[in-house]
Structure 1
Amino acid sequence: MSSQNKNPQTSAAKTALKTAPKTVNLPGQISDVDLRLLRIFKAVVDNGGFSAAEVQLNISRPAISLAISDLEKRLSLRLCQRGRSGFALTEEGEQIYHAILQVLASLEGFKAQVNAIHNHLKGELNIGITDNLVTLPHMRITHALAELKKAGPGVRINIRMIPPNDIELGVLDSRLHIGVIPELRPLQGLNYFPLYEETSQLYCSRGHTLFSLNDTELTIPQIEKQDAVVPAFAPLADVKPLHRRLNAQATATDREGIAFLILTGSYIGYLPTHFAERWVRDGQMRALLPDELHFGTQFFAVTRKAARPNLILEKYLEALGV
């Protein structure tokens, strides 16, 4: 066979090899550094050159040139022509530019999906609350619940009004996601976030023998002789002396129970001022020697330290401002 006669199949194969795109495997994993280089290259292309990209990128032209060179080495491709004749993309550079647009669009899509998860919360929030905090003027719990409802309309909120000790146990064993309790002895397994401070005073009702006496007629010994209702749970150490001075003849697990017994006219007892205000305003209760017989209580939001990540709880804590 003559050397001038060429095999058609061989010629076709050589032509295919010349026209076929190069396959270059990107070594290693795409890192934050790679993403930075891709964004620099995109800015250069968008601005039509290195000089024009300086303002947008806020880095010097030599730094931009070095970044493009690093990217070309990383990809094993010549991406652009630069020099006195100006800036121009190579064919490979054109393809890489369009690929970069896809990569960055995918990243933005990922961010949008994450934001959507935060904005469309689903699940439950189980809260344990010490009774009768709703009358506090600050309303932080109410406002936080409103914000959570806006952020996650599908979130199911379950509130249990139970004694402080039961709230602590419920949070510790994960039956409750969060609790709101008065200051007690801190437990190691709980996080404590300060929420409120309330003032409590000693009250009697209209039917009680002390109700008609003014403060100048009242004495501490006289008050200490009266039948009193005290909390069934242990008070703080600095509050115990005030309760010990009372003639405890009844107990209640919550403030509503204390109010019931005070309103009988047979007992005196301590109540938060914000809770007793409605009866004081209507002339059904009065405080006894309020300048002397009062104490403050700090309230905390409590969560379990070892709890699994929970977006609903995080959103609620954020709304509480803790």
Structure 2
Amino acid sequence: MMQLSLNNPRHLSDYDLRLLKVFQAVVEHGGFSAAEPHLGITKSTISIHISNLEQRMGFKLCQRGRSGFTLTHEGQSVYHAALGLFESVQDFSMLVNSLGSELSGELVIWCSEQLDQEKQLKFVEVVKQIHRKHPALHIELDTMSIDQIEKGLLQGKVHVGIFPAYHKIDGLDYLPIHKEQVFLCCDKKHPFFNQTDHQISDEDFANAETIHPGIDITGEGKAQLERFNLKAKSYQFFMRKILIKSGEYLGFMPQGHIQKELNDGTIRLIKPNSINYHFTLSLVVNKSPRESKKQTIAMETILASFKDDEQ
């Protein structure tokens, strides 16, 4: 038995670690039954594992029964200690992988935007270059919300984030990689579509239902938004375009995301020379990364791909 004692400490075995993993899953899913699908074992087997862990620990970890699942004080302490233990093991694995001659494991790049065709082609080149130079890396390229990306970067779970950095967080570095203008536009079903720019007055704009971008933006952009009747909200450009295409709202879009509609005449820009603001996409990284080699590889490759973009 592994009973813990300050006078007679015991080393954790592989079996103890497996039991702690089961315990972690039970806590995070809120009970034995809820943890069954995640663990792939039955409730009765989970109960046996937890009982074995309690026996090896020498104290009760949780109360379970008709009243529900609750942790004891000792169970809470063990759960938080287990989280720290597993995080340390992950840190160790990352360090060992980074010291090897060939990089392996995950390389995680998260973007807050669905990329337009031009940026998609740039990231195609990024993925190709990284994979050819480091074939053992498992590349994860996905879209997430800005707060999820920031959290992932700070926790060391994400190597590089790509998002508009209108505010900055301590511990992260921000490198602008792409700058473009965002224009006011409407769909052909909107009343403004068949009017000339000169026919649309400031009063018309003040009454026109318009989409808020859903995040804090530059002072330049805020000044533009103050002119409109903000009645909808959408951060992701591809979702914002759906609102615009309903014909019920005006909205601000980068030209690259609506070029097809501009070409076929189903969306038009409104006063593009005066109603616009700049959108800047940044490459964001942790100032003190867990895996500096992976971060550097991703940074250098992305920066090289975007080097010709306006800064």
| TM-score, normalised with respect to structure 2 | 0.61
Specify which of 117, 124, 135 is matched with residue 117 of structure 2. Answer: 135
What per-residue deviation string (whole Å, max 9, x for no partner) do you get for residues 197-228 of structure 1? 01100010011011111223222321231111
Q: Per-residue CA shift, 1:222-260, capped at 9, x if unaligned?
A: 123111111222222331111222211111131122111
Q: How does 1:166-315 map to 2 (within 5 A)?
A: 166-315=148-297
Following superposition, the deviation at residue 137 of structure 1 comes to 5.7
Q: Distance in 2 between matches of 1:244 and 1:133?
A: 27
Distance 2:103 2:289 in 1: 18
SS at match of 1:321: helix
Structure 2 counterpart SS, 1:197: strand
Percent same amino acid at aligned positions? 21
> Structure 2 counterpart of 1:145, which letter?
V
Q: What is aligned with 2:142?
A: 160
Aligned pairs (5 A) from 1:45-124 = 120-124=102-106
The Cα of 1:162 is off from its aligned counterpart by: 2.0
Q: State the secondary structure of the residue aligned to 2:220.
A: coil
CA distance in structure 2 between the aligned counterparts of 1:297 and 1:141, rounded to whole angstroms: 19
| AA in 1 matched with 2:142 | R
Pick which of 160-169 and 122-131 moved more: 160-169
Given that residues 203 and 268 in structure 1 are in contact (C-alpha distance below 8 angstroms), is that contact kept between their aligned partners in structure 2?
yes
Report the alpha carbon displacement of residue 159 of structure 1 after superposing the two structures with TM: 2.2
For 1:227, the aligned partner's letter is: E
Q: Is the 8 A contact 1:136 1:275 kept in 2?
A: no
Contact between 2:156 and 2:290, CA under 8 Å: does it hold in 1? Answer: no
1:191 is paired with a residue of what secondary structure? strand
Secondary structure in structure 2 of the residue aligned to 1:315: helix
Please tell me the residue identity of whatever aligns with 2:211: V
Paired with 1:165 and 1:238, the residues of 2 have a C-alpha distance of 23
- Please give the alpha-carbon distance, in whole angstroms, between the structure 1 residues aligned to 2:179 and 2:153: 22
> Quick one: distance in 2 between partners of 1:138 and 1:157?
16
Deviation at 1:163? 2.6
Q: Does 1:126 align with 2:100?
A: no
Q: Structure 1, residues 19-71: CA drift from partner, whole Å, max 9, x if none?
A: xxxxxxxxxxxxxxxxxxxxxxxxxxxxxxxxxxxxxxxxxxxxxxxxxxxxx
Aligned alpha-carbon RMSD (Å): 2.1
- Residue 199 of structure 2 aligns to a residue whose secondary structure is coil
Check the 8 A contact 2:113/2:163 in 1, yes or no: no
SS in 2 for 1:136: helix
**Structure number with bigger Rg:** 1
Question: The residue matched to 1:232 in structure 2 has which SS?
Answer: coil
Q: Aligned partners of 1:253, 1:150: CA distance in 2, in Å?
A: 34
Aligned residue for 2:299? 317
Determine if contact 2:205/2:227 at 8 Å carries over to the other structure.
no
Q: Deviations over 1:121-146 (max 9, x none)?
A: 32111111021333336954332222
CA–CA separation in structure 2 for the residues paired with 1:205 and 1:217: 17
What runs of 5+ residues in structure 2 fail to find an aligned partner? 1-98, 305-311
Q: Distance in 2 between matches of 1:117 and 1:180?
A: 27
Distance 1:176 1:299 in 2: 17
Any idea what SS the aligned residue of 1:239 has? helix
Name the CA shift for 1:142/1:193 in 2 (closer, same or farther; >3 Å): farther
Report the AA paired with residue 193 of structure 1.
L
Distance 1:126 1:309 in 2: 11
- Return the letter of the residue paired with 1:256: F
Residue 231 of structure 1 aligns to which amino acid in structure 2? P
